[in-house]
């Protein structure tokens, strides 16, 4: 049997991340935190499997290091996800502005 020494708590951490993303869709702060929870879940999974004898001792180290800031000192996954969400938000806002400008131009031309 794989894992189990912590009652598969990593799956509940994943569920929490899913719930946060669903309830706070579009929030860069919540999206970054959900990404952090997913990293925690991966680390917890690896710890659980090492402690259950399914992975070798040390196999969990890399995922723990990633949660603690990675080798570069930043939680790169959360930063990347937040940057992607912000780029998407900017693109949507630019599209809305184009639509609004087009609509305003149509009103000006139609009222002449």
CA 75 to chain centre: 11
- pLDDT score for 95: 92
Give, as one character, the DSSP assignment of residue 82: H
Domain ranges for the chain, please list them: 9-110
pTM of the model: 0.65
Q: Which residues contact 33 (CB under 8 A, 6 or more apart)?
A: 20, 78
Q: Which two tokens stand for residue 13?
A: 């951490």
- pLDDT score for 63: 93
Per-residue pLDDT in tens (0 to 9) along the chain, 112 residues: 466 889 999 999 999 999 999 999 988 889 999 999 999 999 999 999 999 999 999 999 999 988 888 766 556 666 677 778 888 888 989 999 999 888 888 777 666 5
């Amino acid at each position: 049997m794989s894992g189990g020494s912590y009652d598969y708590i990593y799956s509940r951490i994943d569920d929490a991340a899913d719930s946060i993303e669903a309830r706070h869709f579009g929030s860069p702060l919540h999206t970054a935190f959900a990404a952090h929870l997913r990293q925690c879940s991966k680390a917890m999974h690896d710890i659980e499997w090492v402690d259950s004898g399914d992975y070798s001792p040390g196999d969990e180290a890399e995922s723990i290091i990633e949660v603690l800031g990675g080798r570069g000192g930043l939680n790169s996954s959360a930063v990347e996800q937040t940057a992607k969400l912000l780029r998407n938000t900017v693109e949507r806002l630019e599209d809305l502005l184009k639509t609004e400008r087009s609509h305003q131009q149509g009103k000006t031309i139609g009222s002449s």
